[in-house]
């Protein structure tokens, strides 16, 4: 079980172990789910309906979009922006999980609440994700720009993208879409930890006193938690992506219609008026698939790496006295 557990203090991770486990989980997971992320972003940024029954846009569905991207841009297109995305995942995973472990421990030590209750995990998970979001927003911005561009490329590499955006749009452009991101990430991450806590307890054998971590159960619980959380908070994610590509209209012209938004409220109004309620859920299908894999693998690998590090630490502790006795 993630978070501080007073009943298993002997296997509680140190801050350094939480950072390593969180960043490793983010890195491995990102490599797996990158293609779904690219398709999701393409759907979110398309003004026309994503529907094979109303084929007015460039992308009509997951399979058609996959074939289209592959034929036009090659297999590497599914990992566009992968370098900034990896930086994002490593940074986000490290900050989120070390913050979550710290917050759950602080709640247990300074309040009357049990650190392993779903409600505590919701609040601590949301706050931990907000901290990670503020730290990693520039990387998320770069990832979105790389994933959104087609051919010919506007940005040749990461360094070129940073310098171009800095000169042409200013430093604040790296924090475009931060407001809807924070509005969305708190309930999204909070619900992830909330439902993961519930599912893990429901599926754990009642006689078990120590969670093995890194098991198939962690993957299933994380996948379910990710899908529920993503469905509830998806509109905010779409609005964030629309705002992040502001000033990037020229590079997106060949994908179809392009819109400019003056801010959060204007974006919501324009999407509602032109695309209707369904417009806020464009790209939900690949996003749910991505959320199931992403959240499931993130919890799976975090518990796997965390337990491996904790077990290695315990082995080192037990081996030291034995060596000392042998020397004597």
Q: Is residue 321 part of a domain?
A: no
Position 255 scores a pLDDT of 59
What value does the mean pLDDT take over residues 205-221?
A: 66
In a domain, 2, yes or no: no
Q: What is the DSSP letter of 170?
A: -
Peptide bond into 152 cis (omega under 30): yes
| Residue 202: CB atoms within 10 Å | 8
- How much is the average pLDDT of 62-67? 90
Closest residue by Cα to residue 31 from 74, 96, 81, 82 = 82
| Domain total of the chain | 1
Backbone angles phi, psi at 56, to 5 degrees: -105, -15
Query: Under 8 Å CB-to-CB from 248, ≥6 apart: which residues?
Result: 145, 148, 149, 154
CA dihedral (158, 162, 168, 174) in degrees, to 10, reads: 120
Please check whether residue 81 lies inside any domain of the structure.
yes
Mean pLDDT of the chain: 84
Question: What pLDDT, on the 0 to 100 scale, is given for residue 27?
Answer: 93
Residue 123 lies in a domain: yes
Distance CA 6, CA 166 (A): 47
Query: 125 near 233, Cβ under 8 Å?
Result: no
Q: In 285-318, which positions are buried (b, 16+ CB within 10 angstroms) versus exposed (e)?
A: bbbbbbbbbbbbbbbbbbbbbbbbbbeeeeeeee
Q: In this structure, is residue 148 part of a structural domain?
A: yes
Domain of 27 in residue numbering reads as 9-203+212-313
CA distance 6 to 325: 32
Q: How far is CA 159 from CA 142, 156, 187, in A?
A: 10, 8, 33
Amino acid 254: pLDDT = 58
Q: What is the pLDDT of residue 259?
A: 76
Identify the pLDDT of residue 136: 87
Domain assignment present for 320: no
| d(C-alpha 88, C-alpha 185), whole Å | 15
Chain-centroid distance of CA 203 in Å reads 24
Residue 95 binned pLDDT confidence (cut-offs 50, 70, 90): very high
Instruction: Report pLDDT digits (tens) over 97-156.
Output: 999 999 999 999 999 999 999 999 999 999 999 999 999 888 888 877 776 676 677 787
Which pLDDT value is given to residue 253? Answer: 57
Q: What CATH number has the domain bearing residue 292?
A: 1.50.40.10
Establish if 1 belongs to a structural domain.
no
Kindly report the number of other CB atoms within 10 A of residue 188's CB atom: 23
What predicted TM-score, i.e. pTM, was given to this entire model? 0.72
Q: What pLDDT sits at residue 157? A: 81
pLDDT at 211 over 60: no
| Domain membership flag for residue 133 | yes
């Amino acid at each position: 079980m993630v978070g501080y557990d007073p009943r298993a203090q002997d296997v509680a991770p140190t801050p350094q172990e939480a950072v390593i486990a969180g960043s490793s989980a983010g890195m491995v997971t990102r490599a797996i789910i990158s293609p779904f992320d690219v398709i999701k972003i393409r759907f979110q940024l398309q003004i026309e309906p994503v529907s094979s029954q109303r084929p007015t846009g460039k992308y009509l569905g997951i399979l058609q979009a996959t074939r289209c991207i592959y034929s036009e841009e090659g297999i590497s297109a599914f990992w566009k922006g992968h370098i900034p995305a990896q930086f994002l995942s490593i940074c986000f995973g490290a900050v989120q999980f070390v913050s979550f472990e710290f917050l759950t421990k602080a709640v247990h030590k300074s309040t009357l609440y049990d650190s392993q209750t779903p409600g505590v995990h919701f609040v601590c998970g949301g706050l931990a994700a907000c901290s990670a979001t503020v730290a990693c927003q520039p990387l998320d911005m770069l990832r979105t720009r790389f994933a959104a561009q087609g051919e010919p490329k506007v940005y040749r590499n990461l360094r070129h993208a940073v310098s171009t955006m800095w000169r042409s749009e200013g430093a604040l452009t790296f924090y475009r879409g931060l407001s809807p991101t924070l509005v969305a990430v708190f309930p999204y991450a909070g619900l992830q930890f909330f439902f993961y806590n519930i599912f893990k307890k429901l599926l754990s054998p009642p006689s078990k006193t120590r969670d093995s971590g890194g098991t198939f159960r962690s993957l299933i619980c994380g996948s379910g938690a990710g899908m529920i959380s993503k469905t509830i908070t998806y509109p905010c994610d779409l609005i964030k992506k629309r705002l992040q590509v502001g000033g990037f209209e020229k590079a997106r012209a060949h994908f179809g219609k392009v819109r400019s938004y003056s801010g959060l409220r204007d974006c919501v109004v324009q999407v509602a008026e032109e695309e209707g309620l369904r417009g806020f859920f464009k790209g939900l299908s690949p996003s749910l698939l991505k959320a199931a894999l992403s959240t499931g693998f993130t919890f799976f690998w975090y518990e796997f790496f965390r337990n491996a590090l904790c077990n290695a630490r315990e082995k080192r502790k037990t081996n030291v006295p034995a060596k000392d006795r042998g020397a004597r």
